[in-house]
Each structure stands twice: as structure tokens, then as C-alpha cells.
A and B are shown apart, each in its own frame.
Chain A
């Protein structure tokens, strides 16, 4: 697969994911509506809401992602070295200069977002800026630029927002369940409501898992492709390899990352701590770092 077919495949995939999401959210909403006894009207409401939400996610996903990560936009005078690297890579990739953000966090990490290269932004944590030298930082940012150029960022940002939405409505259902906000609809068959209730509980458990699987499907292969095309841009794979090594040896997890945005970052932001990281390793958004480093060193 060359780079141009990767781009058009990504563009189609983002539309497909939005369509699947609207369908999926509609089904869930209908079932939850029946199960809670509010009837299909709430289902239709949520369905319409999910369509609006998809539009918002298409146009504003980058801003949402940047805001939830606590990223601050910077100008050239704030960090000329970082800014220059970004300018150079934009020249090398032939894309417009993206906006540059800094996340005030000691955990070394970085991500790119935006629905196309004209609306792109790259963000780096203060941790990564302190830890890496110039050619390593260049390697990391070149990797992020490949995400922008291949339209991975569009696909990933949309997925991030939509996965967040699905967790939101399942949480809403679980809360209703917990606080007993149910209505017994006398006019209707209460047996049917019971059946929908059981399906709804199963869905409430499965939906986040399905959403995560969608997220994984779009993420893991992208990372290896971005590593390769990033190395092609800097002509220096060792820069990224040694950057990944430095980042992986740092134990600090990124505070502002969550399950919905994890797959955007250059390395898994949770690192190895506790149960949640065991789960996220099981459903990893990134290929193992050792493997990525090995591939880069063999280029």
C-alpha cells in the first residue's frame, strides 16, 4: 500500500465509521429507551442527537481533544526550537504550517490532531521537550506529521469523540439503573420491557468493548506506518528509535489522557500501572515499543 492509497482508504474509513456509529448509537438508544420504559421517543431523541454529535465531532474533534488534554497554543517566540522543527517538517512534507501546542505535564508524550492538513495541530508535553535532543524530537514530530498527512488524525480524532459518546450513553443508562429512574408502562407488555432490559444490560457491558475494538482497528497499524513514513521524512530512523527508548524508560503516566484519547499519543500514555493498564495492554492501541524500535533500527 503506497501513501496515496493509504490516504484515500483513511478518508473512506472515517465516513464509514461515522455511519456505523450513528447506526450503533441509534440501536443502543432504542433498546435503552424500551428498557427504561420511556419508550421509543427517547430513542429517536438520542438518535438525532448522535447525528448532530457526529457533525460536531467532524468539525470540532481536534479542539475537543486539545482542550481535554490541557494543551496551550504557543507562538514562535515561546519556543523557537520546537517551532523551527515543526516549520521544517511542514516544508519537507509539503503541508501548511500546523498550530503548535504544549501540554504542561512531566510525562514525555506527543500527539497530532485535525481533520485535514489545513486544520492540523501538533502537541508535545513539557516532559518530552525536556528529555529529548533535537534529532529525537524531530523523529517524534515527523511521526506525528505522517499521521496528519495520511489523514490518520481525522480518523483518530473522530473515533476518540465517538467512543467517548458511547461510554457517555451507557453511563447514563447505568445511572438510571442505579438510581431506579424507571417507569412502568402500564399500557405496554411488561414482559417485552423485561427482555429489552436484559438486552440493555448486556449492551451496557458490551458497548464500551465494541467501541474500544473499533478504536483499536484503526490505531495499531497506523503507528507502524507513521513510524516508517516519519523516518522517510527525516532520513534518520535512529532519531525516533532513541526517542522511543527514552520515552519508554520514563515511568510517569500522562495525567490528562483518558481512554478515549489514548490512541492519539505517540506512546501509550498510561504506562504500566495497576489494573486499568493491564486492561489497556490487553486492548493495546500501540504495538509494543520494543518491536517499533527494532523495526526502526533495521531500516
Chain B
């Protein structure tokens, strides 16, 4: 009889350890993936001042555009949570779009080698952010699924494992694109 009790306790303990460690591993994977995104976001913000200076050299009068880009860059650098980062990054993408649209009006700028190199670097960084985000989100999905599934969910709630945030912009937070003529 005691053997059976001991065996049951042993099995429960084993399950407990496995489930707990599984949750911890999944959480570590998320923070690893998140730091990959940060590396790429940092690279993106580092490219911006150079880009702004280059464009300024050819198109001095487009002050609004420069201000918007600089503001977006600052808000991305000060962003803390995943959601804020996703939003700031999205905002920066929009302002950069208008910057490149403005650049279309300056043939000398478009012909400049420095500018086209920066443009290529930026679009490469954007691709990398997209891939890093995909990896991060699939890790978040694995972890959040674990949190909800029986019986891991008991251990998750016992030790206060919080669900992780996706790197995504909520539809309602998206600013409508203003078109000005």
C-alpha cells in the first residue's frame, strides 16, 4: 500500500518538474527571440540619423517629414513593452514611407549612391525585423498554448506564469493614414 502511495507521489512530482521546466524553457525562448528583435530594431534606429542627414542635403524644405521621422525614432527608442515597440516600429515605417515618397521628387537624391545604399540597408533591416518577429510570435504562441492546456495550466497559475504579448499592432491602435495634397 505504501509503495503505491510513494509511486503515485513520485509520478506526480516527476510530472510537476517536467511541466514546470517546460514552461521555464518556453519563457526563456521568448526572451531570446525578443532580444533578436531588439537587435534589429536598434540597427534600424541607428540607420535613421544618417538617412535624415542625407535627405536633408538635397531636400532642405521638407521639415515636417524630418520631424515626424525623428519623433518616431525617439518613440521607438524609448519604447518598453513589446506592444509599445510594435506600435512605435509601425509608426516609424509609416513616416519612412512618406520620407521615401518625398525623395521621389528629388532626382539628384535618388541618384546618390549613399542614399540608395541606406535605402537597401533599411529594407534589409525591415525584412529581418519581419523574420525575427515571426520567430518571436511562434514562440509566444507555443508558450501561451502551454499556459492554457490541461494540466500544465494548474502549475502555470500556481506559479503565476503570465501570458506573453505578441509582437503585433492592434487594429484599433493603428492610426488612419492621412493623405495630404
Enumerate chain A interface residues (CB-CB to B < 8 A). 84, 87-89, 91-94, 233, 235
Contacts and interface: CB of A to CB of B under 8 A. Distances in A.
A46 B40 CA distance: 53
B31 interface: no
A84 B124 contact: yes
Contacts of B36: 91, 94
A94 B128 contact: no
22 contacts: A84-B124, A84-B127, A87-B128, A88-B127, A88-B128, A88-B131, A91-B36, A91-B128, A91-B131, A91-B132, A91-B135, A92-B131, A92-B132, A92-B134, A92-B135, A94-B32, A94-B33, A94-B36, A94-B135, A94-B139, A233-B134, A235-B134
A89 B131 contact: yes
Q: Which of B33, B40, B124, B131 has the largest number of chain A CB atoms within 10 A?
A: B131
Contacts of A93: 135
Contacts of A91: 36, 40, 128, 131-132, 135
Nearest to B39: A91
A227 to B, nearest CB: 18
Contacts, number: 26
A88 B131 CA distance: 6
Nearest to A93: B135
Nearest to A95: B135
Interface string B144-158: 000000000000000
A94 B39 CA distance: 13
Interface secondary structure of B, over-half rule: helix
B122 to A, nearest CB: 13
Contacts of A235: 134
Interface of B: 29, 32-33, 36, 40, 124, 127-128, 131-132, 134-135, 139
Given A91-B131, A91-B135, A94-B29, 9 more contacts: A88-B128, A91-B36, A91-B132, A92-B131, A92-B135, A93-B135, A94-B33, A94-B135, A235-B134
A84 B36 CA distance: 16
A231 to B, nearest CB: 13
A177 to B, nearest CB: 56
B142 to A, nearest CB: 9
B47 to A, nearest CB: 15
A257 B167 CA distance: 43
A233 B127 CA distance: 13
A24 to B, nearest CB: 37
Nearest to B33: A94
Nearest to A90: B131
A118 to B, nearest CB: 15
A218 B152 CA distance: 34
Contacts of B128: 87-88, 91
Contacts of A94: 29, 32-33, 36, 135, 139
A235 B132 CA distance: 14
B38 to A, nearest CB: 12
Nearest to A92: B131
A70 B132 CA distance: 33
Contacts of A88: 127-128, 131
A87 B121 CA distance: 13
A30 B32 CA distance: 52
Contacts of A233: 134
A260 B92 CA distance: 51
Contacts of B124: 84
Contacts of B127: 84, 88
A94 B31 CA distance: 12
A231 B29 CA distance: 22
A87 B36 CA distance: 12
Going nearest first, the 5 A-B pairs with the smallest beta carbon separation are A92-B131, A91-B131, A94-B135, A88-B131, A91-B132
Q: Which of A87, A91, A92, A93 has the largest number of chain B CB atoms within 10 A?
A: A91
B168 to A, nearest CB: 15
Contacts of B131: 88-89, 91-92
Contacts of A87: 128
Nearest to B32: A94
